[in-house]
Structure 1
Amino acid sequence: MLVECYDEKGAEVYEMIIKQIFQDLVLGPSVQDLRAFINPDGPVFVLVIKMKKTSSVTKLEDVAKLSYKKEEDVTDIFVENENFLPNILKKLWFMYSREDIYQPTRYNIELQGNQLDLHDMVVDNPQSNLQRRIYDAIFRILPEGFKIIKDLSKGDIISVVATDELIQDQWIEKAHEYMDEL
């Protein structure tokens, strides 16, 4: 972790804030490295975070069995891993509607028609979940009032430039320097 600031005490305080927020959100083990640049006179805040690799996505076919009952024109989904049930229902409710989804038992879900193509539906994406948690941390870390934000994130690197004025090219360059370092 590197926190740069023209004010040495300010750098120490922000390093402490970042560590505390990461500890509160249990993000420490998920982050490989971090760079921050703070200039209160600028005013600018640049934060670049490299995430560690996560496990791969979980598809519906990984946690459930799908079968089509032709005589009833119903697709039956039997959920084998209960931990993913809330995610499965949430995705199905978004794709269809709650009225179109029948759940006769805790682990069984029925849909009208042949819906076997749902086997590829992503029910959990750890990379996306980690990104969401890191963005939550970033918005807690950013100084209050820094409402102008430019997201330069790419791949497993999350990069944000924030200010309360117009974003200057030199700040974007600083973010790109940090991204190249990571």
Structure 2
Amino acid sequence: MRQCCLAIGPAMPSDFPSPFPSQPDPASAPALPAGPQALVRLATPADAGPLCAWLQSRQALPVAAARARDALVENLLARPERGTCVLAVAGGAAAPRLVGCLPVALVPHLQLSGLAALAVEWWVGAEAAQEDPAVLLACCDLLADWCRAHGVRHMLLAPALLAGSQADSAGFVAHAGGLWHRNLTPAPKTLG
């Protein structure tokens, strides 16, 4: 699993055990080819506050709607069996900045005979807008690794997130339901 541990905010202890290693190898995180030099990683419950503030700075909502969105983010990050958020972070360990967020829900899909990771939103900051497809594809690659490790065999993306040529090069094909579909082979299990 490719993951980089750049905290967006102060690290906080969590009541929810994480299924991910606490000290992943930063060298194994996918770096983007140009631009903001962001690294992608999975969000943790400690990221909820900074992520909610970043989302509010991108799309300001009235107080009640903002609280509802914040509760959704906190719930998603606290319950990895429901999904995850893949974050793109730039700026290094000294001053990390969130530049992209791919929220993903795990949904049952009867036609695919199992769970599918469904992404219908892509949030990107102004500094990564030019590299938007590269940032999104790096997030999709990390998500694919996470899915394989957790037995999720399918990724579905909203068609507006990727152009046809970008989707083809990333291994997505058009699904009968109108979404981009990427079939994933589960990761081999190792004991010990």
Q: TM-score, normalised by structure 1?
A: 0.29
Higher Cα Rg, which structure? 1
Give the number of the structure whose residues are more often helix, by fraction.
1
Q: TM-score, normalised by structure 2?
A: 0.27
